[in-house]
A and B are shown apart, each in its own frame.
Chain A
Amino acid sequence: MMKKLNLIGWALLSLIISAALSSCEDDDYSAPTGTYTDGVFVVNEGNSSSGGSVSFYSYEGDTVSNNIFEKVNNRPLGTYVQSLTTFIDKAFIVVNGSNKLEVVEQNSFKEAATITGFDMPRYFTPVNGSKGYVTQWGNGGQIKIVDLNNYVITDTIEVGTGPEKMYSFYNNIYVANGGGLSVDSTIFVINTYYDKVVDTIEVGHNPKDMVIDSEGNLWVLCYGHVQYGEDWSVVFESPSELYKINTNDHSIINSYKISDNLHPEHIEISPDGNSIYYGGGFSFGNIYRMNIRDTELPSTPFSDKYFYGFNVDWTDGTLFALEAPDFTSNGFLYRIHPDGTILGDYEVGIGPNSIGLKKK
């Protein structure tokens, strides 16, 4: 009898252990704090073991709150968050590794819909109140047309290899065919009424990003192409370049070689449309600023830090630059005044790459 009791005792004690262990867990979740009305969203790509996230920088408190999607919706955002675009009252978050577009309410960040059916999506651009375009690398490079009322994919436009950013200008959308894992050297021009490719502009290798200046010229940043051989040595490398293109006839006004072996990934424009900023990316150390009327590239950088990405606030010209020191620990957001002064730095999530702007 004694022995039987012992056994039951053991079982009970084991239960106590389990109970004690589970009560040891601390609760990392805090209730959603406030709303996200006055500030900017920061896109944190994350890494393969921990998913990506979105942070929010608030002007009012001059502070950052991290991981807001998960805090509000109590589920993870996904792997490799690529971009966030705000439009009317929604924010569209492209989650590359999860092959989806998450739609949330801009002010509360509450989930509104998950759009599926993508294959390696990259960026979202609204066309009008009822449709938007999403570039994706899958199936040889496509744009998926998304119905913004029902949140489904309605159609597909075939584009070049590895399409990246889009830039909307009157009835056209320019698409940078960035080459993906190989090479492309075209900008496609799509008429948004017919959803058809109407023109192709030849530029340098792997155009990734574009802006349009105050004079209506399209500036294209070409990353250049790096090709590896059988033994993974570099067998071909083309320079990174900047192209200035007339948006009326799509002729090339000028082109500039940036570097033979350094490859910037981003281009932005000042609110007045008179200065462009280029640089940043995985392997490019500096940000350069150039007046749109200059005929030579600047020789001294605007900033000499390593930024993985940056954006310019179109209201006051402040630069939001993102530092991703490695992809295992948290990155940092820097606010930089157009005169170069650093206004503040803030810890954000892992691998921050860009910001999504809200209207002030």
Chain B
Amino acid sequence: MKIYKIIVVCLLPFSLKGFAEEPDGDVPADTIALEEVQISAQRMNQFSTGLKISSIEKELIEEYKTQSLAELLAMHSQIFIKSYSNGGITSPSTRGSGASHTAVLWNGFNLQDPMNGMANLTNIPMSFIDKIDIQQGGSGALYGSGALGGAIHLNSNMPYNKGLEIKTHQKYGSYQNIFNAINLNYSNQNFSSSSRLFRHSSQNNYDYENIASINRKTEKLANASYQRFGFLQSLKYKINNRHEIVLHGWYQDSFNELPSTMLNVNPGQEEQKDQHLRLTAGWRRLGEKSTTIIRTALFNGKNRYTNPTLNDTTNNLSNSLIAEIEQKFQLGNNHLINLGINETYEKASSENYGNEKNRNRMSFFTSYKIFNRKKTFSSTLSFRNEIINNATSPITYSLGIKAKIFDWMTLSSNFAKNYRVPTFNELYWGNWGNPDLKPEKGFSEDIGLTLQKNLKDHVAQFNITIFNSNIDDWIIWVPDHTIWTPKNVQKVWSRGIESSLNYYFTLNKVQLRFNASYNYTRTTNEANNQLMNKQLIYVPLHQYNWGITTKYKIFELKYNESFTGKRYTSENNQQYVDDFSVGNIHLGMNFNAKMFTGKLAFSVNNIWNKSYQVMAWYPMPLRNYNIQLTLNFNHKQ
């Protein structure tokens, strides 16, 4: 409780300044300016009324071009990123939910693996992404299974009429961390192409203090190297003012050694290789009052895991074929209707399953939005019904409201029923998978307040959201006399507060920016057993980050800090990993020539040299350094 008071006190001097003018905070505008809408982002932009969505600033995306999505989110979002080593495997946890409860949507298609329900955020290079929107809170009616806790929306930006653009990103850092990428973009009036290539590797053999060893020896992390490369080709073609086609093809090869914990005195030997091919195609027709989108995707994933100690090699293969048709109409000046069908066919095979497994999922979804002429009030009601292998699962729905009470104040609220269908591992793994599992289901509610003030030299934004969510039939593996098997037994109640603050101002050519966010997440086990009312493992109660950016002429200096409170590691809350706070400094220099622009930057990560762990007994690196160079060539014909 103490913490609320502190936050309130902190925010008080700020709010006293008063707010006036200018609309809209971090929630995307409810615009129906059709030209601006991307094929993939339509639903998020127009029908996620009342949901808490925050966009990652373009500048931050640029700063992280030589890193992965995981690293950006760990420092700058309110999602807890579970990381098993620096640059190693990660998974997101939103509002206390599990690793398979945050949908990761790439140009509108869900990247969560059908086998384990996860999306490894380290395997998403930032040089392939142009836009990130983070949605906290469930939205099953809009995005289907998996979006129980939240969703991360990743989009490519492909403008027309920009001529030829060549971008290179290079990084060299501690532990032989080497990143190279080149983006080749070309566009004219009705055609746009973007070719992107990257390679990233690191020995990742950092020193750490082994607090589990007899004399707290300093040791070098072993078996933690990684190596990834990938290619992304995107094409967009405007047939005429009404018709447009978009194609994306992404191939990536990722190799990760998996370090063992510091509890194990032997170095790890496990490793994992992932190969992904993702192809998508979309067509859009724009009418005066209606839009049609037809799109399809083919995702192919290969994962090979080896553990020489156990003489174990497992090959996991998955294929998803997705087809979707969506029709939007505007009725009069105040109503929007969206109707759609999604058909997803998933197929997977693995030594762990015996034979090949497949599943057919068909969803019908619809949204109805009403708004006033000034667009200061809007409300959306959505439904989705999914049929899995001919069996109907319960209908999910959501209702959202957003109202601009004053020019400087917006209220939003959302109520949603969400679900997650079991993964193939949960259904079919070995002799222990449980084919009778039901989908997990949950309800989430939130209410948010956004304040925004724009003055000549100042911009100030503040958001506070109170949320509540319940997940029922949460699938966990439990012992059942002779075996461990997944069952729909966990009941979880999560509630808390999220707040964020942004403040920009310019003073004598010096641009300054301050940002901070804080979240409080109480997530408890509600199943009637010995563990009732205990906080779930790996859900930090407190999390905050803050940063200051200053810019003067060609120079920029940033300091960011991210704090994660203690996480319990045992379900009975008797063991935990300590809280940690990481501070990073970034010094950049921008240079401009006629057709060239560039940036040279130097970063110090973990500047206070803290010894910490995100996941218990997996050490993270001490102070480390890197230097980055970005070059930009632009020639407009």
* Residues in chain A within 8 A of chain B (CB atoms): 3-4, 6-7, 9-11, 13-14, 16-18, 20-22, 24-25, 28, 47, 49-51, 67, 75-76, 78-79, 95, 97-100, 111, 113-114, 116, 118-120, 138, 181, 228-234, 282-283, 285, 306, 325-330, 350
Determine if A14 and B546 form an interchain contact, defined as CB atoms under 8 angstroms apart: yes
B482 within 8 A of A: yes
Q: How far is the CA of A22 from the CA of B566 in the complex (A)?
A: 10
Given contacts A111-B214, A329-B530, whether A49 and B264 have CB atoms under 8 Å apart is no
The segment out of B61-69, B327-335, B570-578, B590-598 that lies at the interface is B570-578
Which positions 1-41 of chain B face chain A at CB distance < 8 Å? 2-3, 6-7, 9-10, 13
Given contacts A22-B579, A234-B431, whether A17 and B544 have CB atoms under 8 Å apart is yes
B241 within 8 A of A: no
Query: Interface code B518-539, partner A: CB below 8 Å = 1, 0 otherwise?
Result: 1000000000011100000110
Q: Which residue of B lies closest to A111 (CB)?
A: B214
Rounded to whole Å, the gap between the CB of B530 and the closest CB of chain A is: 5
B239 within 8 A of A: no
Q: Which residue of A lies closest to B266 (CB)?
A: A99
A17-B7, A21-B579, A67-B574 known, 9 other contacts, Cβ within 8 Å: A10-B516, A14-B516, A17-B3, A51-B263, A76-B212, A76-B263, A100-B265, A228-B431, A229-B354
B507 within 8 A of A: yes
Which positions 308-346 of chain B face chain A at CB distance < 8 Å? 309-310
Contacts of A9 in B (CB 8 A): 13
Q: How far is the CA of A4 from the CA of B512 in the complex (A)?
A: 10
Determine if A18 and B263 form an interchain contact, defined as CB atoms under 8 angstroms apart: no
Q: How far is the CA of A282 from the CA of B483 in the complex (A)?
A: 8
Contacts of A233 in B (CB 8 A): 354, 431
Pairs across A and B, CB under 8 Å, 16 listed: A3-B507, A4-B507, A17-B518, A18-B563, A18-B581, A21-B3, A21-B563, A49-B569, A51-B617, A75-B213, A98-B263, A98-B264, A230-B354, A283-B483, A306-B481, A330-B572
Determine if B431 and A232 form an interchain contact, defined as CB atoms under 8 angstroms apart: yes
Contacts of B431 in A (CB 8 A): 228, 232-234
Rounded to whole Å, the gap between the CB of A118 and the closest CB of chain B is: 8
Contacts of B579 in A (CB 8 A): 21-22, 25
Q: How far is the CA of A14 from the CA of B310 in the complex (A)?
A: 48
Tell me which of B6, B265, B354, B572 contacts A17 (CB under 8 A).
Answer: B6
Q: How far is the CA of A233 from the CA of B514 in the complex (A)?
A: 60
Determine if A232 and B430 form an interchain contact, defined as CB atoms under 8 angstroms apart: yes
B261 within 8 A of A: yes
Rounded to whole Å, the gap between the CB of B239 and the closest CB of chain A is: 50
Q: Which residue of A lies closest to B546 (CB)?
A: A14
Determine if A329 and B6 form an interchain contact, defined as CB atoms under 8 angstroms apart: no
Determine if A231 and B354 form an interchain contact, defined as CB atoms under 8 angstroms apart: yes
Interface of B is mostly: loop
Q: How far is the CA of A14 from the CA of B265 in the complex (A)?
A: 39
Q: Which residue of B lies closest to A308 (CB)?
A: B479
Q: What 5 A-B pairs come out closest when comparing CB atoms? A: A231-B354, A50-B570, A283-B482, A232-B431, A328-B571
Rounded to whole Å, the gap between the CB of B512 and the closest CB of chain A is: 7
Determine if A282 and B482 form an interchain contact, defined as CB atoms under 8 angstroms apart: yes
Interface of A is mostly: loop
Q: How far is the CA of A22 from the CA of B581 in the complex (A)?
A: 10
Q: Which residue of B lies closest to A326 (CB)?
A: B479
Determine if B3 and A20 form an interchain contact, defined as CB atoms under 8 angstroms apart: yes
Determine if A13 and B10 form an interchain contact, defined as CB atoms under 8 angstroms apart: yes
Q: How far is the CA of A231 from the CA of B354 in the complex (A)?
A: 4
Rounded to whole Å, the gap between the CB of B540 and the closest CB of chain A is: 11
Which positions 540-577 of chain B face chain A at CB distance < 8 Å? 542, 544, 546, 548, 561, 563, 565-566, 569-572, 574-576
Rounded to whole Å, the gap between the CB of B572 and the closest CB of chain A is: 5
Q: How far is the CA of A181 from the CA of B310 in the complex (A)?
A: 9
Q: Which of A114, A232, A283, A327 counts the most B-chain CB atoms under 10 A from its CB?
A: A232
Q: Which of A181, A326, A350 counts the most B-chain CB atoms under 10 A from its CB?
A: A326
Tell me which of B353, B354, B565 contacts A21 (CB under 8 A).
Answer: B565
Contacts of B565 in A (CB 8 A): 21
B390 within 8 A of A: no
Q: How far is the CA of A205 from the CA of B561 in the complex (A)?
A: 58
Q: How far is the CA of A229 from the CA of B353 in the complex (A)?
A: 11
Which positions 471-522 of chain B face chain A at CB distance < 8 Å? 478-479, 481-483, 505, 507, 512, 514, 516, 518
Rounded to whole Å, the gap between the CB of A231 and the closest CB of chain B is: 3
Contacts of A97 in B (CB 8 A): 263-264
Q: Which residue of A lies closest to B530 (CB)?
A: A329
Q: Which residue of A lies closest to B565 (CB)?
A: A21
Contacts of A120 in B (CB 8 A): 309
Determine if A329 and B572 form an interchain contact, defined as CB atoms under 8 angstroms apart: yes
Determine if A231 and B355 form an interchain contact, defined as CB atoms under 8 angstroms apart: yes
Q: Which residue of B lies closest to A14 (CB)?
A: B546
B616 within 8 A of A: yes
Contacts of A51 in B (CB 8 A): 263, 575, 617
Determine if B566 and A114 form an interchain contact, defined as CB atoms under 8 angstroms apart: no
Given contacts A230-B355, A327-B479, whether A116 and B516 have CB atoms under 8 Å apart is no
Q: How far is the CA of A20 from the CA of B184 in the complex (A)?
A: 49
Contacts of B3 in A (CB 8 A): 17, 20-21, 24
Q: Which residue of A lies closest to B512 (CB)?
A: A7
Q: How far is the CA of A181 from the CA of B354 in the complex (A)?
A: 18
Q: Which residue of B lies closest to A282 (CB)?
A: B482
Query: Interface code B194-231, partner A: CB below 8 Å = 1, 0 otherwise?
Result: 00000000000000000111101000000000000000
Q: Which residue of A lies closest to B615 (CB)?
A: A49
Contacts of A326 in B (CB 8 A): 478-479
Q: Which of A9, A51, A67, A181 counts the most B-chain CB atoms under 10 A from its CB?
A: A51
Q: How far is the CA of A67 from the CA of B572 in the complex (A)?
A: 14
Contacts of B566 in A (CB 8 A): 25
Rounded to whole Å, the gap between the CB of B61 and the closest CB of chain A is: 24
Given contacts A50-B575, A98-B264, whether A350 and B355 have CB atoms under 8 Å apart is no
Contacts of B353 in A (CB 8 A): 231-232
Tell me which of B352, B478, B518, B548 contacts A11 (CB under 8 A).
Answer: B548
